[in-house]
């Protein structure tokens, strides 16, 4: 049996891995959309759709499209 503290720590570790995976998927989606359609055609909604996350998840990780692009450069 595990303690409540161990359970919470394990759950936090899972959440951190999911967050890192989501951020990586968001970056990869942005790179793909930029290569395909350029800056003007790359939208937060499109990035979210291609990354398999919500628009809110994209905006949580990157406040603006410019911030997202800067992270990918």
Q: What is the torsion angle, in degrees rounded to the nearest 10, for the CA atoms of residue 51, residue 56, residue 60 and residue 61?
A: 10
- pLDDT tens-digit map of 44-55: 999 999 999 999
Question: CB atoms < 10 A from the CB of 48, how many?
Answer: 19
Q: Token digits for 21? A: 């995976």
DSSP 4-73: HHHHHHHHHHHHHHHHHHHHHHHHHHHHHHHHHHHHHH--HHHHHHHHTS-HHHHHHH-SSHHHHHHHH-
- pLDDT tens-digit map of 23-41: 999 999 999 999 999 999 9
Q: Residue 21 pLDDT > 80, yes or no? A: yes
Q: Mean pLDDT over residues 17-22, rounded? A: 92
Q: Residue 61 pLDDT > 90, yes or no? A: yes
Please tell me the predicted confidence (pLDDT) of residue 14. Answer: 84
Q: Residue 73 pLDDT > 80, yes or no? A: no
């Amino acid at each position: 049996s595990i303690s409540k503290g161990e359970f919470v720590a394990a759950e936090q570790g899972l959440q951190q891995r999911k967050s890192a995976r989501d951020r990586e998927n968001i970056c990869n989606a942005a790179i793909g959309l930029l290569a395909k359609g350029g800056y003007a055609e790359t939208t937060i909604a499109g990035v979210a759709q291609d990354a398999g996350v919500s628009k809110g998840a994209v905006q949580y990780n990157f406040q603006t499209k410019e911030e997202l692009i800067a992270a990918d450069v």
